[in-house]
Amino acid sequence: LMTEAIFSLKGHRKEAGFSVDELKGTLKGKDAEISYLDGMPPAQNVSVQGTFDKKSFDFTIFSGNVDYVEVEKGHILISGLD
């Protein structure tokens, strides 16, 4: 469950559509379920907070579990999205 999502978007009109110049924001979640790899059980009851922009997602996992394995804290950085 995402409990908060804030973002800003700046762009301009192009001949054929719209071009995104800047995208950034923050996300917070509690009791979320996250699927991370096909065929693997999802992470459940996840408490997460992170930021994103056009180039990356940067998240801190505060708690959660995968099956019976408890996750206490972790960090996920997905970069190179541009």
Give residue-wise pLDDT tens across range 36-47: 899 999 999 999
pLDDT at 72 over 90: no
Q: pTM, whole model, 2 decimals?
A: 0.78
Left, alpha or beta for 54 (phi > 0: left; psi -120 to 50: alpha)?
alpha
The pLDDT tens digits of the residues spanning 8-28 come to 999 999 998 999 999 999 999
Q: Are strands 2-14 and 69-71 parallel, antiparallel or unpaired?
A: unpaired
